[in-house]
């Protein structure tokens, strides 16, 4: 590497690199200051999002009266059946996503009417127990809903509350589903953290792809700027008996050189990893054929709804005696019909297998049971298998909630080189990591947020390292902004 750098210096390339670094620094240094400042905020506070855990917490349990009045959902159309409580009555939701599912009263099997404005406000008040200040209706997504998948939920009611947190709840007018909740504190930290860091581009790109292209261009230019700076910084660093030292004596250029020498590589990797998060993993690194949905094939085999009919009275009796179940899903476990009962959280179901006219709690599966079902689904037995008792660099806790342990990891021999993770407690295929997703995990999450399992287990150290790198990047960016402003000033004075 030293030979290569000496060659660059010999052929006069250093001057070109310096010029590129200066010009791009003049264009991007302020933007990088904003990115590093907002990144420091993001270490501690992310963008507000109404999670599945919060939605589950607001659900009422199915009481004994509701359980006894349930009718079997024989003719409610195709799709996953989910039983929940809504406004004091049990309802069936047909479909996977709550905001797009069709809803029927479980005691009459009649379709639930489209919610009124009053119903939507009542739904918001079940989440925030306070008086409403005002209610508005939006027909386009705003900065607090910067996700394209919510386009189908429009129009949306924004319910402003007069509580001490100045809460705002977003309710989908079509379904009455809560899609977002923000507080004054969350909005403040998002305005100085997540929004200037990345949300503003995500939001603007929903209707105008130009902003996504602009962000990618800025990241490429930023990477070129950093690369040139790193090369020049190494060439100009002196090596003496006491180690490396900068030849510069003036404060701003010295700080820029020294901090950039030691930490500039992180600024470069931040640009490259951010590019991966926006553009995705290039196909020349890892190809991904998304035509195969292993989770659907594994978790949702074709089980006729009549398979649940005989055991339905047993389910009613179980719910009536429990009184703590908030959600029931008509599901399957390793191809066998079952009921998933949720009382603790969205990722902790109790599985009850159907046995004739009765139900029996599942005590878990042996590895051989899971492998046998894998042969049926995939057509062969995956030879590379591992039973995980703890999280690793791929199978980790998610931002939205917990994940079950233990899980059986099986490496498939498909074109995507997929790894599947199956819970031995429930038989559910929890997640799939193909080659592209594994590459994205290292090229983005590891490089951009230091998401490495050992550091995740020592969160204080991970955050300290992120703060140190962001602070060094801020020093390089601020000093670069000062230096470029002085350089521009000299150029202007020369030609004036």
pLDDT score, position 204: 93
pTM over 0.95: no
HSE-up of 473 (CA within 13 Å, CB side)? 28
Three-class SS of residue 440?
helix
Four-way CATH pick for 117-182: 3.10.450, 2.60.40, 3.90.1570, 3.30.700: 3.10.450
Is residue 162 predicted with pLDDT exceeding 50? yes
Is residue 1 predicted with pLDDT exceeding 70? no
pLDDT score, position 207: 86
Per-residue model confidence as pLDDT tens digits over 61-102: 999 999 999 999 988 878 889 999 998 899 999 987 666 788
DSSP 332-392: EETTEEEEEEESS-TT-PEEEEEETTEEEE-----HHHHHHHHHHHHSS--SEEEEESS--
Q: To the nearest whole number, what is the mean pLDDT of the chain?
A: 90
Across 4-18, 87-101, 111-125, 462-476, least confident range: 4-18
Q: Is the peptide bond before 380 cis (omega within 30 degrees of 0)?
A: no
Pairing of strands 178-182, 168-172: antiparallel
Q: Are 28 and 221 in contact (CB under 8 A)?
A: yes
pLDDT score, position 8: 52
Is residue 9 predicted with pLDDT exceeding 70? no
pLDDT score, position 81: 93
Helices 184-192, 13-42: inter-axial angle, 10-degree rounding:
170
Copy the structure tokens of residue 110.
Answer: 């009649």
91, β-bridge pairs: 84, 105
What percent of the chain is modeled with pLDDT above 90?
69
pLDDT score, position 3: 46
Is residue 2 predicted with pLDDT exceeding 60? no
How far is CA 295 from its chain centroid?
18
Integer angstrom CA distances of residue 277 from 198, 282, 378, 440, 475:
11, 11, 31, 8, 25
Q: Mean pLDDT over residues 327-333, rounded?
A: 94
Is residue 335 predicted with pLDDT exceeding 80? yes
Three-class SS of residue 325?
coil
pLDDT score, position 5: 52
Is residue 242 predicted with pLDDT exceeding 70? no
User: Cα(142)–Cα(207) distance, rounded to whole angstroms?
Assistant: 11
User: Cα(29)–Cα(478) distance, rounded to whole angstroms?
Assistant: 7
Q: Are 37 and 194 in contact (CB under 8 A)?
A: no
User: Cα(320)–Cα(325) distance, rounded to whole angstroms?
Assistant: 9
Q: Residue 4's pLDDT band (boundaries 50, 70, 90)?
A: low
pLDDT score, position 28: 94
Q: Mean pLDDT over residues 140-166, rounded?
A: 94
Integer angstrom CA distances of residue 419 from 263, 383, 385, 422, 428:
35, 12, 9, 10, 14
Residue 399's Cβ-count burial label (10 Å; 0-12, 13-18, 19+) is: exposed
| pLDDT greater at residue 127 or residue 284 | 127
Is residue 496 predicted with pLDDT exceeding 90? no
Q: Is the peptide bond before 17 cis (omega within 30 degrees of 0)?
A: no
């Amino acid at each position: 590497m030293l030979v290569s750098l000496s060659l660059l210096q010999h052929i006069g390339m250093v001057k070109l690199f310096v010029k590129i670094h200066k010009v791009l620094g003049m264009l991007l240094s302020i933007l990088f200051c904003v990115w590093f400042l907002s990144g420091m905020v993001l270490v501690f506070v992310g963008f507000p999002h109404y999670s599945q855990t919060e939605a589950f917490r607001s659900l009422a349990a199915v009481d004994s009266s509701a359980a006894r009045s349930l009718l079997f959902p024989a003719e409610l159309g195709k799709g996953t059946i989910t039983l929940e409580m809504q406004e004091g009555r049990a309802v069936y939701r047909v479909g996977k996503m709550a905001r797009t599912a069709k809803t029927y009263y479980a005691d009459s099997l009649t379709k639930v009417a489209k919610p009124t404005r009053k119903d939507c406000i009542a739904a918001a008040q079940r989440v925030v127990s306070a008086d409403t200040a005002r209610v508005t209706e939006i027909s386009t997504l705003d900065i607090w809903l910067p996700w394209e998948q919510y386009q189908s939920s429009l129009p949306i009611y924004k319910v402003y509350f007069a509580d001490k947190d100045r809460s705002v709840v977003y309710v989908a007018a079509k379904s009455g589903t809560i899609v977002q909740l923000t507080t004054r504190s969350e909005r403040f930290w998002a305005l100085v953290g997540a929004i200037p860091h990345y949300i503003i581009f995500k939001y603007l790109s929903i209707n105008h792809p130009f902003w996504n292209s602009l962000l990618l261009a800025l990241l490429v230019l930023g990477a070129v700027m950093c690369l040139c700076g790193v090369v020049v910084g190494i060439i100009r660093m002196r090596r003496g008996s006491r180690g490396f030292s900068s030849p510069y004596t003036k404060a701003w250029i010295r700080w820029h050189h020294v901090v950039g020498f030691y930490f500039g590589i992180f600024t470069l990797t931040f640009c490259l990893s951010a590019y991966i998060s926006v553009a995705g993993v290039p196909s020349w690194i890892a190809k991904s054929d998304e035509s195969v949905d292993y989770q659907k094939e594994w978790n949702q085999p074709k089980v006729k709804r009549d398979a649940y009919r005989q055991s339905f009275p047993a389910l009613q009796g179980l719910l009536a005696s429990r009184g703590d179940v908030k959600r029931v899903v008509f599901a399957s476990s390793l191809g066998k019909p079952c009921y998933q009962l949720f009382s603790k959280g969205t990722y902790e179901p109790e599985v009850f297998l159907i046995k004739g006219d009765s139900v029996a709690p599942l005590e878990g599966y042996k590895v051989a049971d899971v492998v046998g079902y894998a042969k049926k689904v995939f057509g062969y037995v995956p030879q590379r298998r591992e039973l995980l008792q703890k999280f690793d660099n791929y199978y980790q806790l998610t931002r939205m909630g917990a994940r079950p342990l233990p899980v059986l990891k099986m490496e498939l021999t498909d074109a995507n080189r997929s790894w599947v993770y199956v819970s031995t407690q429930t038989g559910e295929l929890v997640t799939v990591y193909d080659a592209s997703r594994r590459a994205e995990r290292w090229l983005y999450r590891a490089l951009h947020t230091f998401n490495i399992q050992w550091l995740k287990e020592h969160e204080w150290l991970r955050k300290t390292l992120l703060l140190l790198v962001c602070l060094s990047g801020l020093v390089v960016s601020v000093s670069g902004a000062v230096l470029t402003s002085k350089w521009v000033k000299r150029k202007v004075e020369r030609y004036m």
